[in-house]
Amino acid sequence: MPELPEVETHIVELRPLLEGRRVEGASVFWPRTIAEPDPDRFCDLIRYRRFGELQRRAKYMLLGLDAGWTLVVHLRMTGTLRVVPSDRKMDRHTQVVLGLEGGEELRYLDLRKFGRFWLVRDADRVLPSLGPEPLSRHFTGRWLHGALARRQAAIKAVLLDQSVGAGVGNIYADEALFRARIHPERPAASLTLKECQTLCRTIRHVLRTGIAWRGSFVSSYEPPSGVPGRFQARHQVFRRTGEPCPRCRTVIERIRVGQRSTHYCPACQQVSV
């Protein structure tokens, strides 16, 4: 699933292609993609709307439109948005098309069809409960320490809770925990304030580095430009099972935490408190 850096890359690449451009028409090929309103109403409402500011909130894209509308997009597992010439052959995984002035189209491609669109006036109404942005000044070690208090679940699972780690997913949770030397199965409430401060810093570091390298190219994810991100070459533990730890040379192991594959170094990340 695209995580914060991949969604941020989407926004950065789409801004110069969409901001200020008018939607000339819309077609929906997979009705379930449109969560709100119904697909026919969606096509009517978005036609002749003009794109304004494009923003990101956690893993959600907020595509501003005129007249107070916002197109909220969640890419889920395999979604991607691309701006292409309208005469380009349609990919068989295209689910939604927005015709743009100037002879181009914004196409939404989604192999597994899990992504969702909401066309609404109040984006907050359709967003889930989200914690502070990890790259904002509100995401601090002290805030994280308070958020983890009384949470006995494994820290890896808690970080994937978007009310705590807004925008953090499997890749960046593994990478941040490794850099903080915290075992992914540690009870979240057992982390000290100092450990939370360290973890806060490593979360920020891996997210910023991920953005700088335009995200991780894994599975079927690609950014709008079609040029893969390169952060996967800098993964230290994620999908490195059986390889030597870059810090101590112990073999990296894979376990399951909260039904999610988790990668860690058993020497650098001790489970004992």
Q: Is residue 260 annotated as part of the catalytic site, yes or no?
A: yes
pLDDT of residue 220: 62
pLDDT tens by residue, 65-76:
999 999 999 999
Residue of 201, 239, 247, 260 marked active site: 260
**CA-CA-CA-CA torsion sign (23, 26, 28, 34):** positive
Residue of 59, 116, 156, 179 marked active site: 59
What would the mean pLDDT of 85-92 be, rounded to a whole number? Answer: 97
Residue 6, H or E segment: helix 4-18
Both ends of the chain: CA-CA distance in Å?
31
DSSP characters for 100-165?
Answer: ETTTEEEEEEESS---EEEEES-HHHHS------TTSTT--HHHHHHHHTT--SBHHHHHHSTTTS
pLDDT of residue 188: 98
pLDDT tens by residue, 116-173:
999 999 999 999 999 999 999 999 999 999 999 999 999 999 999 999 999 999 999 9
Q: How many CB atoms lie within 10 A of CB 196?
A: 23
What would the mean pLDDT of 180-207 be, rounded to a whole number? Answer: 98
Residue of 2, 39, 184, 224 marked active site: 2
pLDDT of residue 139: 98
What would the mean pLDDT of 35-50 be, rounded to a whole number? Answer: 98
Distance CA 2, CA 77 (A): 7
Distance CA 271, CA 133 (A): 28
**pTM as predicted:** 0.95
Check if the beta carbon of residue 123 is closer than 8 Å to that of residue 70: yes
What would the mean pLDDT of 49-56 be, rounded to a whole number? Answer: 98
pLDDT of residue 223: 85
- The residue written with tokens 């320490």 in the block is 145
Distance CA 112, CA 104 (A): 25
Q: Is residue 2 annotated as part of the catalytic site, yes or no?
A: yes
Residue of 3, 13, 195, 222 marked active site: 3
The larger pLDDT score, comparing residue 182 to residue 2, is at 182
What would the mean pLDDT of 47-52 be, rounded to a whole number? Answer: 98
pLDDT of residue 273: 54
Fold of 141-264: Helicase, Ruva Protein; domain 3 (1.10.8)
Q: Is 22 exposed, middle or buried (0-12, 13-18, 19+ CB in 10 A)?
A: middle
Q: Is residue 194 annotated as part of the catalytic site, yes or no?
A: no
Q: Is residue 156 annotated as part of the catalytic site, yes or no?
A: no
Check if the beta carbon of residue 3 is closer than 8 Å to that of residue 172: yes
Give the alpha-carbon dihedral of 208, 212, 213, 215, to 10 degrees: 50
pLDDT tens by residue, 218-269:
766 678 988 888 899 999 999 999 999 999 999 999 999 999 999 999 999 9
What would the mean pLDDT of 51-60 be, rounded to a whole number? Answer: 98
Phi-psi region of 181 (alpha: psi -120 to 50; beta: other; left: phi over 0): left
pLDDT tens by residue, 2-33:
999 999 999 999 999 999 999 999 999 999 99
Q: Spell out the domain ranges in the chain.
A: 4-126, 141-264
Q: Which CATH architecture has domain 4-126?
A: Alpha-Beta Barrel (3.20)
pLDDT of residue 78: 93
Asked if residue 90 has pLDDT above 70, the reply is yes
